[in-house]
Amino acid sequence: MAVDAKAKALKAAGEDVCGFAAGEPDFDTPVHIKAAAIAALNEGKTKYAPTPGIPPLREALAQKYTETYGLPTQAAQVVVSPGGKFSCYLTILATCSAGDEVIVPAPYWVSYPEMVKLAGATPKLVLADDSTGFKLTPDMLEAAITPRSKLLILNSPSNPTGAVYTPAELAAITAVAVKHNLYIMSDEIYEHLLYDGVTHVSPASFSDEARERTIIVSGFAKTFSMTGWRLGTIVGPTKITKAVAELQSQMTSNATTFAQWGALAAYTQWDKTKAALDEMLTAFDRRRKQVHTGLNAIDGINCQLAQGAFYLFPNISSFGIDDLTFCDRLLDEQKVAAVPGSAFGAPGFLRISYATADETLQKGLDRLQAFCAGL
C-alpha cells in the first residue's frame, strides 16, 4: 500500500506512472450487485443486521460451499464480516493466544504475521521460494512444527505469488496438519481467479478430520471487484464460527447491512455474476501471459508462470541490488511501481500485479527492460 500510495502521489503530481503495485482488480463492481445495494438502501435496509450476517446471505453461502465444493455446510457455519482481512484477524484471534505458534509460509500476504502478533501469538515463518514453486512441502511443514504449533495459514491461489497448490500437494500438507492437530486457516479469497483449466480445492474437502480443523476465509473483494465494499466471509466448524461471531459482536456488530443485500445478488443472479467474472478472467489471462513473456524476455529476470490471482513474482536476484533499492530506483528513474518481495518475506523478488490496463502493461514492461539494461 505504501508503494501504491507513492505511485498515486507521483501520478497526482502529473507524472506518467505505470502501476504494477495494485492489490485490487481494475474492473468496476458488476451492475446487478450495485443495483441490489441501491435497492436495499431505498427499501430502508439501513439498520443493524444480525451479527453473523443477514440470513439469506448466510444461506446462499452455505449452499455455495455445499454444492460447489462438496462441503456439507449449514448457515450456522457461516459468518459475514467487514472484509476478508477482518475475517483473517477474527479467525486468528479465535484460535490463537499468547504462547501459541502460527506457521506462516513465505512469501506471505503482508498482514498475516502482524495479525498473529496482535493475537499475542508468534509467527513462525517458513520460506518457500521459486525452487518449490513458492509452495510449502510436507517436509518443510513437519520441520516447522513444535509442541506450541496451533495454526497453519494457507493461501491458494496466493497473494503475492499467484501460486496454486495442486490437489495432491494440498492433500499432503493437510494430512501433516491434521496429524499434528493444527488448525488450518485457508485464505481462499482468490478461489475464482484461476487459469489453465485449474479448479479450486479447499483443504477442508480432504477428510472429516480436515473439515473439523479448517476455517475457510474468503470474500467478495477480489473475485467480484468489490474491494471498497468491505465484505468477507468465514466458514468453519460451529465451535469456531460461534467464537468468531462473539468477537465480531463486540468489535463491529455486523458488516454493513445494505452492502450484504447487494452481495446477495452475486449469488441469486449467478448467471450475471458468472458473465462478469468470465470477462474479467479473459482479460487477466491475456495479461498474465503477456507479462510473463515480457518479464522473461528481460535479461536477468526469471519468472514462473502462476496459475491464479493476478500476480506474478519474478526473481531479480541476479542484478546484485536488493529488491527494496530495485523498486525505489525503478519508481524514481522509470516511473514504474512494483512491490519488493521483502514486503512478503521473500527478498530478491518483485510482486507484479497485472490488474492494470493493457497499454500500461506494455509500457511498463518496456520501461522495466530499459531500467534493467542500465543496471
Distance CA 259, CA 54 (A): 10
Closest distance to ligand PLP from the beta carbon of 319 (Å): 27
Cell of 83: 472484509
Helix (H) or strand (E) holding 19: strand 18-19
**Residue 157 Cβ vs ligand PLP, minimum distance, rounded to whole Å:** 9
Q: Least distance (Å) from ligand PLP to the CB of residue 159?
A: 4
CB of 155 to ligand PLP, least distance (A): 5
What are 340's strand-pairing partners?
Answer: 350
Sign of the dihedral through C-alpha 15, 17, 23, 29: positive
Q: Which is nearer to ligand PLP, 227 or 257 (CB)?
A: 227
CA–CA separation, 369 vs 300, rounded Å?
Answer: 10
Which cell is 63 given?
Answer: 449452499
Candidates 103, 158, 172; CA nearest to 130 is 158
Minimum Å gap between C-beta 310 and ligand PLP is 10
Question: What number of other Cβ atoms are within 10 A of residue 118's Cβ?
Answer: 13
Whole-number Å distance between alpha carbons of 222 and 277? 10
Q: Which of 366, 34, 79 is nearest to 233 (CA)?
A: 79
Is the Cβ of residue 187 or residue 323 nearer to ligand PLP in the bound state?
187
CB 255 within 8 A of CB 81: yes
CB of 323 closer than 8 Å to CB of 171: no
Query: Measured from the CB of residue 217, what is the shortest distance to ligand PLP in angstroms?
Result: 7
CA distance 289 to 229: 30
Which residue, 186 or 205, is less far from ligand PLP as judged by CB? 186
Cβ nearer to ligand PLP, comparing 193 with 365? 193
| One-letter amino acid for residue 220 of the chain | F
Compute the least distance from the CB of residue 333 to ligand PLP, in Å.
28
CB closer to ligand PLP out of 355 and 365:
355
In this complex, which beta carbon is closest to ligand PLP, that of residue 221 or of residue 339? 221
Residues in touch with ligand PLP (CB under 6 A):
23, 83-85, 88, 109, 155, 159, 187, 189, 219, 221-222, 227, 232
Nearest CB to ligand PLP, comparing residues 335 and 351: 351
Per-residue cell: 215: 476455517
Residue closer to ligand PLP, measured from CB, 184 or 365: 184
Residue sitting closest to ligand PLP (CB) = 84
| 174 and 211 Cβ atoms separated by less than 8 Å | no
Dist. CA 357–CA 11, nearest whole Å? 15
Least Å from the CB of residue 199 to ligand PLP: 19
Using CB atoms within 10 A of its CB, is residue 157 exposed (0-12), middle (13-18) or buried (19+)? buried
Let me know: does 60 contact 231? Beta carbons within 8 Å.
Answer: no
- Quote the least distance from Cβ 170 to ligand PLP, whole Å: 16
Q: Reply yes or no: is the peptide bond before residue 157 cis, omega within 30 of 0.
A: yes
What's the closest the beta carbon of residue 222 comes to ligand PLP, in angstroms? 6
Of 69 and 86, nearer to ligand PLP (C-beta) is: 86
Residue closer to ligand PLP by CB (options 218, 334) is 218
